[in-house]
Structure 1
Amino acid sequence: REAEEMAKLKQRLVSQVWKIGIIFHSVIIGVTMGMSQNVCTIRPLVAALAFHQIFEGMGLGGCVAQAGFSFGTTAYMCFMFSVTTPMGIILGMVLFSVTGYDDSSPKALIMEGLLGSISSGILIYMALVDLIALDFFHSKLMNSNLTLKKASFVALTLGSAAMSILALWA
């Protein structure tokens, strides 16, 4: 009984940390998109945003469902997930209008690269350490079925490779 409570508490903590990472990532991507005035930059960002939001939402939804939060907490997390990117876009548009940001300057490109790498690094860390590690190393099903474990590692590798290839166009 105590082990179940600890597992649920850990799942809640993981869900909340995952949500904070997604919020940070979504705001940074939104700011980048809102500040950009180049159509060639905006098109891949829209595609990346749609792709990322789908899978971030599925991942977060799974974590929240396993954690067993109350309805109010679940509704709040869903609300925050849905408004952070638009808030980032608005913030980026405001920053652009106030600062006259030039997205083709070397400083701007360095800043966009740094912010993008920080936000993606947060998501990669949380996915590998908080989410995937639980499933791969602390699951009775994974530890008892070697074929499933091998297939899961192959799927993880292929998914990571696919995301890296997609990053070439983003």
Structure 2
Amino acid sequence: MFFDHLGVVWQYEPEGFDLGSGHWYLPDFWLPDLRIWLEVKGHGASDGIGLWERFAQAADPPSDADVAGGVAPALSVLPAAWRGRALLAYGDIPRPGDARPGGVWPAASEAMLASTGDPFFQWCICLSCGRVGAEFDGRWERICCGHSLEGGPESSADHPRLLAAYRAAREKSFEHEHRER
């Protein structure tokens, strides 16, 4: 519901990957236009995190320069067509009223996404063209569309389109919970 509301193309569990040593991984979502893999975990769910970290390295392996600088090489690498940033969404669907002015969500908020080694990614929207992305602290100027806005806000994580998408996803989740009871 969240991605549909934002017009983001998504695929649910499109492919499983052999990470070597008998370990397979089936990530939750592939966002092909954004080249993002998204794994969704609820509050307190820590099962499979180590395997997710291996997958994240395979999806976005360190460069030769990084490896030469001391970064450990990936144990396996995904085929080029499937490479992209791997993010982990943890917790519940964010509550739109929790966003702080200026677009930054509180630390440890439900709006957080994690990449390997960095837990502070957030969904954001380019203020010039409207492209959706997931960037550190929701910094929209890092979205790969080439736009910037002198004197504008650093973060767009509280953009009205995102808040509406969170609301829609929370409502759908609430409906689903009540139907199962």
TM over 0.5: no
Greater C-alpha Rg: 1
More strand by share: 2
Structure number with higher relative contact order (C-alpha < 8 Å, ≥ 6 residues apart): 1
More helix by share: 1
Relative to the length of structure 1, the TM-score reads 0.26
